[in-house]
Amino acid sequence: MAGGAASGGSGAASETYKEARTLLLMPAWLTLIILVLSPVMLMLVYSFLTKEFRGGVIWDFTFAAYDQFFCDRGLFGDEGCTLEWTYITIFWRSIWQAGLATLLSLAIGFPTAYFIATRPANVRPLWVFLITIPYWVNLLIRTISMRFMMREEGPINNLLVGTGIIGEPLQMINTNFAVQVGLFYSYLPFMVLPIYAAVERYNFTLSEAAADLYASKWITLRRVLLPTVKPGVIAGCILVFVPSLGAFLAPDLLGGAKNFMIGSLIEEQFKGNAGNWPFGAAASMILLTMVLIMLMIYARQQSRANRGEA
Amino acid sequence: MASRKFDVRRYPGFAQLTVLCLLILYVPLLVVAVYSFNASASIIVFEGFSWRWYVDVFVGSDSAKFKEAAWNSFFIAIIAATVATTIATLAATGMVRGGFFRGRTLSFGLISLPLMVPEIVTAVATLIFFNSIAFERGIMTILLAHIAFCIPFAYLPIAARMQGIEDTYEQAAQDLYATKRQAFTKILLPLMMPGIISGYLLAFIISLDDFIITNFVKGAGVETLPTAIFGAVKQGIRPNIMAISTMLLGFSIVMVTISYFVSKRGDHK
Amino acid sequence: MAEPEVYAIDVQNAVKRYGEFVALKKISLSIRDNEFFTLLGPSGCGKTTLLRMIAGFEEVTEGEIYLYGEEIENQPPFKRPVNTVFQNYALFPHMTVRENVAFGVEMLGKPVSDALKRADEMLELVQLTQFSARKPSQLSGGQQQRVALARALAPQPKVLLLDEPLSALDLKLRKAMQLELKHLQRETGITFIFVTHDQEEALTMSDRIAVMSAGEVQQLGNAVDIYERPKNRFVADFIGETNLIDVEVTSRDQDRVLCQFKNGLTLTCDAVDGIGIGSRGHISIRPERMKMRSEKVDDENWQGKVVENVYVGTDVQSIVALQNDMHLTLRTQNSDTGKAMIFEPGTDVFVDVEVGSARLLAD
């Protein structure tokens, strides 16, 4: 998924099957509208319903879910609305975690993408393949393997204690750090691929021109290369940030009880009998809105860039 | 006098970071794989090579559960991938070879919608949908949900491949009295086969590996491989879990590699 | 002419190898201060490699390069006070024209305001002041080329390198730019090293030309030297048009030699050192240095028949067949006097070679 390049548009507008077009697209449209679009609409509706005790909803419209999210009405629920920080904190922490994971991915992903893009052309696909495989491998298993590695009696600690670097095993699991690493590990390939695509298209004569004009390599990176590949970098950041924001497995398996993120909060609402479906729907809606706003900003920036630097 | 050759492309440290990146990505998986062959029941100390945990997966105490979960997973994956790939192929034909129409960007947005929405939101929405029409949760719900989000994964490689095939072949066919349908089935489809296979395998793996959406819509009685593994992990990581994880891992890697080579070979035509 | 004490660029025994392949075979060149110097040759001859070695983008396998006496072949490009105008301009797409031109000056450590001021000066020099706030993609090819020029000149380099900068322009623009570059060089006094494969361009603009082929300098001299007195077949053939005739030197009389053609015809021409009696070689005669006559005017005139006349606007190109199937190409100017010496195809004529215009080549 290389940024805006795969916009589904072909070069010469090929019209071979123009008449059959509606028929061809109908199955996809139907499936996606029924199974994706309308469920999301429904979710919006559900967020305004009343919760049923054993899960599910009662079709009574109310603002209760959103109220619970934003308002603190005291112990008995009868005071005025003061800002409820509990859930906002969870959202805020998720943003912060996702942001940090994104930065971490960028720090390692950018040099990696750059390096691969500057390999000889015949070897490049192999590198890309190596980076992509972990992405296709089950996220659950990868998270489990992270958990396995970071346990108190896990291999990392064994190595550190065994070689005498530290005296006692580090508490890595069930920390913010573990979640961070888990998120970074989960979505790293997403950071690498768009940046790789952008650097591959970069014209290195520009770097030569910069060097010719007395710029050192690092200044060239900062002032010439980065601005030119910026769209790829931003695409990579979004591809890591958005899934990280709504992640469930990393906080659940690696963070334990103390590291509740949005994903965990939402999941909790739908499991078992203590759940609150409307609340879960409301939280999901809030998450979705945040993501859509970010995507719209990105799309607008893309189109502005396409117009400005044609 | 010996100075390093000046190469505008080379930055010190980048190669090392790349190696680090690859290590980070692969080492945990390798470690799990290694421990799955542990002769002892320990997940701490490696005490020798053994197949016992793999055997345990098939005949041990959890084996029935895993077998049923595996059966469910594969069943769903095959069907979901087939349906999704068919829908995606038709859609790609319409998008790439259907000329320009006003709803095109919107169509593409719709097709890639599952990719843009966080998985948990899709999971919740799908659950709510089935609940609202009182559709009982089970294999069917999993299947339907999978079909939906597999479509974009099948679509992308198929569309990419189709864009790479010039339509002059189909035009030549029509010039030689083939109908549009014949041009499609006899010319376009065979040329696209690598892309279709590639898309199918991708959709298959995505379905096989999915956890979050499946977990939400599966209902109490049904398990797929990922949900079964998750449940087992919650009770503590045991070597047989690592064995089954490694098997699933290996299987996914093989599928992806095949998918990659199939599409590469197609390029050499 | 006394040789200067210090050369702008002095290349000594430079060799460039890529594994087994030798791109430059021991090149030695001395380029003077305030000179418009051209490296001319077909693609693959090594001219761009040599230029990039001077700029610092190619490593020198063997040999040294001196810039006004200072050894530079091991310095990275951003330390060398030479600047390059690239073939595809390489203007930074995300910066405005002004920022592009100011870039090098800024990198040298000047405050940004000074750099921008200098950029404005340069843009005025190339007459692009009204475009200074635009992005490169909004400019035409010719305008981009001038921006690239301004950008390379702004940091006041000691030498300016130009890598086929005019190749992307259409003919008229190209010719205009050729003159403009020549004037610019005179005005700034900076040594220009220009790379091109277009020999007409080289002849128009250069003080001196180094004709290169297959990694070697075939000949070094000014336009007149190169054209009138080519040293070998390659130079004679690459520059302008010529007729090449296979000959053997049969006798010598002081500084004139007699050459015999394969088909028995002979011609006397100036002797060349190193080509003695009995040597085989070629004679090069430019088409415009021969005339067709209706009667023999000289002993050495050759009899032939006009085969074809081709009208090319300024001249008429005629093909004449001599005995034993030898063909010569002549060019006659399309003027009143010239027209008198053009004959219909099929006419018998005598070919008269201008004295001193035939050049003996060793190969």
Alpha-carbon span A2 to A197, nearest angstrom: 6
Q: What is the pLDDT of residue B60?
A: 76
B and C: number of Cβ contacts within 8 A: 11
Q: What is the pLDDT of residue C211?
A: 96
How much is the ipTM here?
0.80
Q: Does C57 touch chain B (CB under 8 A)?
A: yes
Q: Does B212 touch chain A (CB under 8 A)?
A: yes
* Chain A residues touching C152 at Cβ < 8 A: 212-213
pLDDT-derived band of residue C49, with 50, 70 and 90 as boundaries?
very high
Nearest Cβ partner for C77 among B1, B3, B6: B6
Does residue A164 surpass a pLDDT of 70?
Answer: yes
* Subunit contact A214:C104, Cβ cutoff 8 A: yes
Which B residues, 5 through 44, put their C-beta within 8 Å of a C-beta on chain C?
A: 5-6, 8
Q: What is the pLDDT of residue A308?
A: 56
Does residue B215 surpass a pLDDT of 80?
Answer: yes
pLDDT-derived band of residue A307, with 50, 70 and 90 as boundaries?
low
Distances (CA, A) of B104 to A9, A10, A107, B92, B94: 8, 11, 36, 11, 10
Distance (Å) from the alpha carbon of B193 to chain A's nearest alpha carbon: 18
Distance (Å) from the alpha carbon of A126 to chain C's nearest alpha carbon: 25
* Chain C residues touching B1 at Cβ < 8 A: 74
pTM score: 0.78
pLDDT-derived band of residue C1, with 50, 70 and 90 as boundaries?
low
Q: Does C88 touch chain A (CB under 8 A)?
A: yes
**Which of these ranges, A105-119, B151-165, B168-182, has the smallest mean pLDDT?**
B168-182
Helix axes C141-153, C112-125, angle to 10 degrees: 130
Q: What mean pLDDT, rounded, does chain C reach?
A: 90
pLDDT-derived band of residue A169, with 50, 70 and 90 as boundaries?
confident
Are the beta carbons of C59 and B5 closer than 8 angstroms?
yes
Does residue A304 surpass a pLDDT of 60?
Answer: yes
A3-56, pLDDT tens digit by residue?
Answer: 333 334 444 446 777 777 888 888 888 888 888 889 988 888 888 888 777 667
Alpha-carbon span B215 to B210, nearest angstrom: 9
Distance (Å) from the alpha carbon of C76 to chain B's nearest alpha carbon: 6
Are the beta carbons of A228 and A220 closer than 8 angstroms?
no
Q: What mean pLDDT, rounded, does chain B reach?
A: 83
Q: Which of A239, A244, A234, A246 is nearest to A289 (CA)?
A: A246
Probe site for chain A from B4, B5, B18 (most A CB atoms < 10 A): B18
Q: Which residues pair with A125 in a beta bridge?
A: none
* Subunit contact B44:A158, Cβ cutoff 8 A: yes
A214-238, pLDDT tens digit by residue?
Answer: 999 999 999 999 998 888 898 889 8
A85-98, pLDDT tens digit by residue?
Answer: 788 888 888 898 89
* Subunit contact C59:B1, Cβ cutoff 8 A: no
Q: What is the pLDDT of residue B43?
A: 65
Q: What is the mean pLDDT of residues B94-116?
A: 80
* Chain B residues touching C61 at Cβ < 8 A: none
Q: Which long-range contacts (CB under 8 A, 24 or more apart) does C176-184 make?
A: C177/C142, C177/C145, C178/C204, C178/C205, C181/C149, C181/C205, C182/C36, C184/C125, C184/C149, C184/C153
Q: Does B1 touch chain C (CB under 8 A)?
A: yes
* Subunit contact C74:B3, Cβ cutoff 8 A: yes
* Subunit contact A211:C76, Cβ cutoff 8 A: yes
Instruction: Give the nearest chain A residue to B11 (CA atoms).
Output: A217
* Subunit contact B5:C59, Cβ cutoff 8 A: yes
Nearest Cβ partner for A28 among B24, B91, B257: B91
Highest mean pLDDT pick, A15-19, B38-42, B250-254, C22-26: C22-26
Q: What is the pLDDT of residue A6?
A: 37
Kindly state the tokens that stand for A297.
């900003």
**Which of these ranges, A203-217, B237-251, C54-68, C177-191, has the smallest mean pLDDT?**
B237-251
Q: What is the mean pLDDT of residues B26-35?
A: 85
Alpha-carbon span B203 to B151, nearest angstrom: 7
C333-358, pLDDT tens digit by residue?
Answer: 988 888 888 888 998 999 999 988 89
Q: How far is CA C72 from the centre of its chain?
A: 26
Does residue C150 surpass a pLDDT of 90?
Answer: yes
Quote the radius of gyration of chain C (alpha carbons, Å). 25
Nearest Cβ partner for C107 among A206, A213, A227: A213
- Subunits next to B (3 or more Cβ pairs <8 Å) are A, C
3-state secondary structure chain C: CCCCCCCCEEEEEEEEEECCEEEEEEEEEEECCCCEEEEECCCCCCHHHHHHHHHCCCCCCEEEEEECCEECCCCCHHHCCEEEECCCCCCCCCCCHHHHHHHHHHHCCCCHHHHHHHHHHHHHHCCCHHHCCCCHHHCCHHHHHHHHHHHHHCCCCCEEEEECCCCCCCHHHHHHHHHHHHHHHHHHCCEEEEEECCHHHHHHHCCEEEEEECCEEEEEECHHHHHHCCCCHHHHHHCCCCEEEEEEEEEEECCEEEEEECCCCEEEEECCCCCCCCCEEEEEECHHHEEEECCCCCCCCEEEEEEEEEECCCEEEEEEEEHHHCEEEEEEECCHHHHCCCCCCCCEEEEEECCCCCEEECC
Q: Which residues of B193-215 are buried (b: 16+ CB within 10 A; e: fewer)?
A: ebbbbbbbbbbbbbbbbbbbbbb
Nearest Cβ partner for A206 among C78, C83, C90: C90
Q: Does A266 touch chain B (CB under 8 A)?
A: yes
Give the angle subtended at the CA of C150 by the CAs of C144 and C155, to the nearest 5°: 140
Distance (Å) from the alpha carbon of B14 to chain C's nearest alpha carbon: 20
Distances (CA, A) of C33 to C7, C30, C55, C68: 6, 10, 17, 9
Q: What is the pLDDT of residue B266?
A: 62
C229-241, pLDDT tens digit by residue?
Answer: 898 999 999 998 9
* Chain B residues touching A124 at Cβ < 8 A: none
Q: What is the pLDDT of residue A2?
A: 35
Kindly state the tokens that stand for C179.
């003159």
Alpha-carbon span C56 to A210, nearest angstrom: 12
- Subunits next to A (3 or more Cβ pairs <8 Å) are B, C
Does residue B117 surpass a pLDDT of 80?
Answer: yes
Q: Does A2 touch chain B (CB under 8 A)?
A: no
